[in-house]
Amino acid sequence: MATYGLLLDFNTCIGCKACMRSCKEVNNLSGPLGQELSAENYTVVNTYKDLNYRKMCMHCLTPSCTSVCPVGALKKSELGPVTYDGNKCIGCRYCMVACPFSIPRYEWNNPRPVVRKCIMCISRIEQGKEPACAWVCPMGATRFGERDRLLDIARARLTRHPDKYVNHIYGEKEAGGTSVLMISSIAFADLGFRSTLPQEPLPDLTWTVLRKIPNIVFTAGIVVGGIWWVINRRMELDRENNGNNHKA
Ligand code: SF4
Ligand code: SF4
Ligand code: SF4
């Protein structure tokens, strides 16, 4: 099965924010367009020295967020997107700690808060459509396609225009590689992207750390309901799954 992704070319982005608006529309997100990722803004477009650049979930090839989620709310699809199920999420925020790109955001204003992030419009992909942000982009600055093909396009642009791009495809190797790839005329570190991430997948490391130092998790207030709630929720989900299996 083909694995899809997005190529964000900051050099061709005009900062129109149509991607942000379409993301809000397809995900029913309220509130104004923000400058920071939030539960109401799964993607943001900002400007640095005349360069417009986007931030969103990187859809890691081997995501840390899925490996630490105790209830399986986050999942890596074979198609590429890392999805989440808000009905399963218990708001423990393990994924926020584990994500090397600091992407998941918390619904601070919701009485039953869960974590939110971009899901690469997986339902659109399953219907044979592009993610809304790629479909709406007037410049092709957000491009959808098979990850291998997007890598070829990115490499070709860097080779053809070494004067216009830094020699770095962000996401090709970071944290084991991601389904979202970025190219730019300005170094990614200067745009606020983490530039010293290891090239190996991080899930084993993050889970080992979280498991060994649970007190840090508690001290930071990351577990909202306590272990008993996790267990109860797991049992509840098991019951639901069993019920569904029986109905099937
Ligand atoms: S960027 Fe973070 S939230 Fe997105 S898939 Fe990777 S680990 Fe998960
Ligand atoms: S892929 Fe979909 S959910 Fe993700 S930023 Fe684009 S429009 Fe939003
Ligand atoms: S829609 Fe395209 S050109 Fe407009 S801000 Fe988003 S990425 Fe840039």
**Per-residue DSSP letters for 205-222?**
HHHHHHHH-HHHHHHTT-
**Nearest atom of ligand 2 to the alpha carbon of 132:** 7
In-domain check, residue 238: no
- CATH at residue 200: 3.30.70.20
> Which residue has a Cα nearest atom 6 of ligand 2?
133
Closest protein CA for atom 8 of ligand 3: 13
Number of structural domains in the chain: 1
pLDDT at 207: 60
Q: Is 142 in the pocket of ligand 3 (CB under 6 A)?
A: yes
Mutate which of 24, 25, 52 for ligand 3? The one with the most ligand atoms within 8 Å of its CB, which is 52
Residue 244 above 70 pLDDT?
no
The pLDDT assigned to 1 comes to 75
Whether residue 63 is contained in a domain is answered as: yes
Residue scoring higher pLDDT (196 or 144): 144
**Ligand 3, atom 2, residue with closest C-alpha:** 137
pLDDT at position 72 over 80: yes
Does the residue 49 lie in any domain? yes
Sequence-ordered list of residues with C-beta below 8 angstroms from that of 124, at least 6 positions apart, any chain: 26, 130, 131, 132, 135
Q: Is the pLDDT of residue 53 over 90?
A: yes
Return d(Cα 103, Cα 99) in angstroms, integer: 7
Q: What is the mean pLDDT of residues 175-190?
A: 98
Mutate to test the pocket of ligand 3, among 137, 180, 183, 191 (most ligand atoms within 8 A of CB): 137
Q: Is the CB of 82 under 6 A from ligand 1?
A: yes
Bigger pLDDT: 120 vs 86: 120
Q: Is the CB of 37 under 6 A from ligand 2?
A: no
In a domain, 234, yes or no: no
Q: Is residue 226 part of a domain?
A: no
Query: What distance in angstroms lies between residue 112's CA and the mean position of ligand 2's atoms?
Result: 23
Q: What is the mean pLDDT of residues 120-131?
A: 97
Of all protein residues, the one whose alpha carbon is nearest to atom 3 of ligand 2 is 118
Q: How far apart are CA 9 and CA 155, in angstroms?
A: 12
Q: Is the CB of 64 under 6 A from ligand 3?
A: no
The pTM is what?
Answer: 0.85
Find the DSSP H helices in the chain.
18-27, 64-68, 94-98, 122-126, 132-136, 147-160, 203-212, 214-219, 227-247
Residue nearest to atom 8 of ligand 2 (CA): 23
Percent of residues, the chain, with pLDDT higher than 90: 70
Average pLDDT value for the chain: 87
The domain of 53 spans 4-204
| Domain contains 213 | no
